[in-house]
Amino acid sequence: MTIAFFAQQDILAPDMTTPSKTKLVAVVDDDELVRIALQRLLKAAGLGVASFGSAEDFLNSGQLPEFACLIVDIRMPGMSGLDLQTKLKAERPVPIIFITAHGDEKMRIQAMRAGAVAFLAKPFDSGILLDRVRAALESMSS
């Protein structure tokens, strides 16, 4: 119970005390367990992270300028991951790594052509995800 409580607290009030020089990663997924797992993985890798239960929550957070990379689920209630990508591409391009349990080749091609840096099928290898995140963060530095 304690672990779930602290994980939930992290989701509702992400640790935004990370120094400004730290590149933050946003996780946008409607599955709470996925958000918790990814938040723990990214924090364990030394990355600043905040998570959001929907694309709308992310957009309404006012924190977009703080993020150097996004990990986004494709299928979510309301705005889809692909719709979020389109909106962000027009406003503020940011590297996006898509994760999905429901993706197909057409969706993958659409995401990659629109600039996604990766398209990973759930379940995915955490090492591969971390490699893609680090590569995306490095691309924002150059």
Q: Which residues pair with 70 in a beta bridge?
A: 26, 96
Please work out, in degrees rounded to the nearest 5, the angle formed at the alpha carbon of residue 64 by the alpha carbons of 59 and 69.
Answer: 110
Q: What pLDDT shows up at residue 22?
A: 67
Q: What pLDDT shows up at residue 103?
A: 79
- State the Cα–Cα distance between residues 113 and 62, nearest whole angstrom: 27
CA atoms within 13 A of residue 98's CA, in its CB half-sphere = 28
Into how many domains does the chain fold? 1
The backbone torsions φ and ψ at residue 26, rounded to the nearest 5 degrees and listed phi first, read: -105, 135
- State the Cα–Cα distance between residues 4 and 26, nearest whole angstrom: 20
pTM assigned to the model: 0.83
pLDDT tens for 14-70 read 343 333 456 899 999 999 999 999 999 999 999 999 999 999 999 999 999 999 999
Phi-psi domain of 46 (left: phi exceeds 0; alpha: psi -120 through 50; beta: other): left
Under a CB-based contact definition with an 8 Å cutoff, are residues 18 and 39 in contact? no
Q: What pLDDT shows up at residue 21?
A: 52
Q: What pLDDT shows up at residue 142?
A: 66
pLDDT tens for 54-71 read 999 999 999 999 999 999
Give the CA dihedral 98, 100, 104, 109, nearest 10 degrees. Answer: 0
pLDDT tens for 103-134 read 789 999 999 999 999 999 999 999 999 999 99
Q: Find the CATH number of the domain harbouring 113.
A: 3.40.50.2300
The continuous run of DSSP H or E covering 135 comes out as helix 126-141
Residue ranges making up the domain that contains 61 = 2-14+22-141
Is the model more confident about 88 or about 23? 88
Q: What pLDDT shows up at residue 23?
A: 81
Q: What pLDDT shows up at residue 91?
A: 87
Q: What pLDDT shows up at residue 3?
A: 21
Q: What pLDDT shows up at residue 125?
A: 95
- State the Cα–Cα distance between residues 5 and 3, nearest whole angstrom: 5
